[in-house]
């Protein structure tokens, strides 16, 4: 498959760009130009990254290990940016989605293997998102038999509007509800001294800490994020002239998502972790109930519920789109959000809709949300050697030489990715050992495993 040149589709895609600006229009547009990176695939994919499973993993981390899980969240910011920035360059400069690029460069067999990682992570995400929607509804006395069908219909209908930009903006609006965790953190009155002590303590000798650390790594870098962002910039026709904006949006998103994760860890560490570290956290309702003595009804129910609901909906949207895009790319189906369903795009839209229906049915059949969410994030961490291996290989082989990483940036990016890949490989034997026995450290009973 031919690789797009350095200018990409920007030479002829937007003829209006060469028209002279009206007097004074540049000054009026400048604030909007500055804000444009905040309203694109970089921000929406990062908001989706802080999904229900990630927030539940952060909650369990704060309850079990307090502030000692804050430092890993900070370390993950540059790693997250490096990974997603590579997908931006690959999408913009090749004009090809992730799955299609793997198929073109390495063959169908490797593309199917990559699709397997996407399928596992996307299904795991969808189940946890719908389970969280059900849990939030039950906080307010609404049955899951109402909330799940309504959420399913909303998400399927949203993708049928025929506008990628509209889908992204609605996704961002939903995801920004996660910022409700910031006032919740302040209501928890965290101890600055305890936080400072936790920042220099990493009890890696404890198996339960390593397990939750793996879950947090998997909660931050997910296979479906790579497929989504590369597919999104391709579907929108982003050209090389706008690559800096996409990078800026990705950086902003990486910071925002980790600020939310840190806020949840600190909130739970300052409340449940300090007062009842062994509290049962089997459902969204139990997390909310455990927070209530410290945060009150508004903090524990309204703020927590709003943040969890927004996170679940935007992640369900993005992960299912990533799954549908990945399948379409590998099997050669036509796929775009910029056209309403028709004969050519029927398989793409059908796979998107069926993913939601399958997730909804599984949740209505009842699952253990906490155990499932943590296990799904650990599974993501174990899949990262495959995902990042493909990403690094594509960056080195599929891009024009002028746009590949060089010098210190290349070595730093490779070092960060190899660190995560090595961590995933290192955890495989110890994680499998933990899966065969009850988890130490108060995490709970043996888990429900997706894989």
pLDDT in tens, 349-380: 998 898 888 888 888 876 555 666 666 666 77
Q: How many whole angstroms from its chain centre is CA 405?
A: 24
Please determine, for residue 37, whether its predicted confidence score (pLDDT) is greater than 80. Answer: no
Contact 428, 379 (CB under 8 A): no
Higher pLDDT, 356 or 41: 356
Nearest-angstrom CA–CA distance, 153 and 161? 13
Q: How far is CA 259 from CA 175, 180, 382, 392, 443, in A?
A: 14, 12, 24, 27, 24
Contact 250, 85 (CB under 8 A): yes
Tell me the residue range of the domain where 102 lies: 37-435
Nearest-angstrom CA–CA distance, 95 and 111? 17
Please determine, for residue 161, whether its predicted confidence score (pLDDT) is greater than 70. Answer: yes
Closest CA to 49 of 322, 283, 275: 322
Nearest-angstrom CA–CA distance, 6 and 441? 52
Specify if 418 maps to a domain: yes
Per the listing, tokens 């980790």 go with: 258
Specify if 91 maps to a domain: yes
Question: Which class for 362: exposed (0-12), middle (13-18), buried (19 or more C-beta within 10 A)?
Answer: middle
Tokens of 168: 């992204």
Specify if 1 maps to a domain: no
The predicted model gives 242-256 an average pLDDT of: 88
Specify if 74 maps to a domain: yes
Specify if 93 maps to a domain: yes
pLDDT in tens, 111-124: 888 877 787 778 77
Contact 97, 234 (CB under 8 A): yes
Specify if 7 maps to a domain: no
Please determine, for residue 237, whether its predicted confidence score (pLDDT) is greater than 90. Answer: no
Nearest-angstrom CA–CA distance, 403 and 239? 13
Report pLDDT for 449. 28
The predicted model gives 76-94 an average pLDDT of: 91
CATH number for the domain harbouring residue 200: 1.20.1740.10
Specify if 14 maps to a domain: no
Specify if 449 maps to a domain: no
Report pLDDT for 81. 92
Q: How many domains does the chain contain in total?
A: 1
For the ranges 55-64, 335-344, 410-419, which has the lowest average pLDDT? 335-344
For the ranges 17-26, 75-84, 105-114, which has the lowest average pLDDT? 17-26
Report pLDDT for 432. 53
Report pLDDT for 203. 86
* Runs of H (alpha helix) within 365-406: 369-397
């Amino acid at each position: 498959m031919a690789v797009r040149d350095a200018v990409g589709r920007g030479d002829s895609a937007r003829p209006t760009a060469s028209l002279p600006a009206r007097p004074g229009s540049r000054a009026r547009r400048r604030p909007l130009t500055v804000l444009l990176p905040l309203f694109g695939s970089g921000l929406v994919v990062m908001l989706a990254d802080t999904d229900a499973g990630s927030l539940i993993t952060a909650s369990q981390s704060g309850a079990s290990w307090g502030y000692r899980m804050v430092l890993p969240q900070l370390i993950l910011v540059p790693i997250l940016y490096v990974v997603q920035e590579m997908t931006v360059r690959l999408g913009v400069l090749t004009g090809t989605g992730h799955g299609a690029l793997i198929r073109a460069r390495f063959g169908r067999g490797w593309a199917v293997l990559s699709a397997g990682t996407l399928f596992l992570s996307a299904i795991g995400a969808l189940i946890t998102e719908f389970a969280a929607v059900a849990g939030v509804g039950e906080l307010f006395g609404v049955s899951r038999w109402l909330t799940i069908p309504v959420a399913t219909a909303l998400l399927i209908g949203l993708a049928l509007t025929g506008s990628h930009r509209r889908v992204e903006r609605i996704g961002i609006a939903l995801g920004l509800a996660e910022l409700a965790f910031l006032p919740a953190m302040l209501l928890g009155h965290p101890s600055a001294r305890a936080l400072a002590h936790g920042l220099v303590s990493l009890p890696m000798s404890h198996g339960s800490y390593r397990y939750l650390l793996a879950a947090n790594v998997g909660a931050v870098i997910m296979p479906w994020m790579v497929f989504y962002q590369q597919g999104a910039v391709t579907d929108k026709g982003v050209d090389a002239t706008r690559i800096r904006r996409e990078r800026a949006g990705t950086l902003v998103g990486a910071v925002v998502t980790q600020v939310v994760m840190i806020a949840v860890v600190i909130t739970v560490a300052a409340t449940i972790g300090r007062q009842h570290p062994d509290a049962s956290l089997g459902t969204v309702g139990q997390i909310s109930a455990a927070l209530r003595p410290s945060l009150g009804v508004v903090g524990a129910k309204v703020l927590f519920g709003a943040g969890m609901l927004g996170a679940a909906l935007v992640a369900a949207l993005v992960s299912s789109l990533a799954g549908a895009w990945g399948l379409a790319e590998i099997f050669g189906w036509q796929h775009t959000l910029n056209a309403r369903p028709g004969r050519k795009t029927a398989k793409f839209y059908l796979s998107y809709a069926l993913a939601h229906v399958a997730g909804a049915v599984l949740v209505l059949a009842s699952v253990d949300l906490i155990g499932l969410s943590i296990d799904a994030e650990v599974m993501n961490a174990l899949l990262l050697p495959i995902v990042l291996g493909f990403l690094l290989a594509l960056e080195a082989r599929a891009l024009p030489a002028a746009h590949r990483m060089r010098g210190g940036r290349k070595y730093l990016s490779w070092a960060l990715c190899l660190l995560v890949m090595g961590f995933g490989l290192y955890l495989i034997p110890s994680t499998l050992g933990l899966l065969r026995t009850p988890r130490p450290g108060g995490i709970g009973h043996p888990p429900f495993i997706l894989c």
